[in-house]
Amino acid sequence: EPEVTQTPSHQVTQMGQEVILRCVPISNHLYFYWYRQILGQKVEFLVSFYNNEISEKSEIFDDQFSVERPDGSNFTLKIRSTKLEDSAMYFCASSESTDYGYTFGSGTRLTVV
Amino acid sequence: AQTVTQSQPEMSVQEAETVTLSCTYDTSESDYYLFWYKQPPSRQMILVIRQEAYKQQNATENRFSVNFQKAAKSFSLKISDSQLGDAAMYFCAYSPPLYNFNKFYFGSGTKLNVKP
């Protein structure tokens, strides 16, 4: 069964450093998303991406965040200057159309120290 | 504003028994989608079942079924013949209509324990 692949599975970074979280969506999917889940809290929407541009973003997704689809297969989330409160599980998801559920990746656990 | 509420932080069920997880949501839309996702200890999010609001028939997937009450804005998940592998966090999610690029709103989750 096709999978959404996320790398790395766990990343530890110093506060203030830049991190890039990588995702490889399912190949025929057109819609891409990032969500995050702070430990013990709800899964929160960050951003949706379609046709090489952001279609919607949440208030969490401020100027410190950016997304990119650099080569037609990867979908990346960049955090420019990490803060302690960015520590969370980050999920990438993709979907073939807007009328079905996502396929989520297995997540990247980001720890900011 | 769309909100999703799961009022049961934790539940337990005996293996082979049936359990129902509840979910309510708030929306002013008439057409939308509802989902249940399972998150095992690995923290991967796995789609369990989906329901289109315009369909009156309740969705079923093997041992999983929903009770969708549109007027009451209720969307409960029933797991029959519970298995040890069903132990996980379960999240209810709401998605607005198609033109809004599937921004999901998740509930806070219910932790399901399955006792052997």
Residue-wise pLDDT for A5-17, tens only, equals 999 999 999 999 9
pLDDT reading at A79 higher than 70: yes
Query: How distant is the Cα of A45 from the closest Cα of chain B, in angstroms?
Result: 7
Give the pLDDT mean for B25-53: 90
Per the CB < 8 Å rule, is B106 touching A44?
Answer: yes
Predicted pLDDT at A99: 63
Query: What is the distance between the alpha carbons of residues A81 and B59, in angstroms, rounded to a whole number?
Result: 44
CB pairs under 8 A between A and B: 62
Give the pLDDT mean for B49-72: 94
Chain A, 43 to 82: residues with Cβ < 8 Å from chain B are 43-45, 48, 50, 55-56
Query: How distant is the Cα of B15 from the closest Cα of chain A, in angstroms?
Result: 26
Mind listing the pLDDT tens digit for each residue in A12-49?
999 999 999 999 999 888 899 999 999 888 899 999 99
Give the pLDDT mean for B23-46: 90
Least Cα distance to B40 among B106, B105, B85, B101 occurs for: B85
Query: What is the distance between the alpha carbons of residues B61 and B114, in angstroms, rounded to a whole number?
Result: 19
Does residue B78 contact residue B61 with C-beta atoms inside 8 Å? no
pLDDT band at B44 (very low <50, low <70, confident <90, very high): confident
Closest alpha carbon within chain A to B104: A45
- Report helix, strand or coil for B19: strand
Give the pLDDT mean for A58-77: 93
**Which residues in chain A are closer than 8 Å to B93, comparing Cβ atoms?**
43
Place of tokens 């980050």: A90
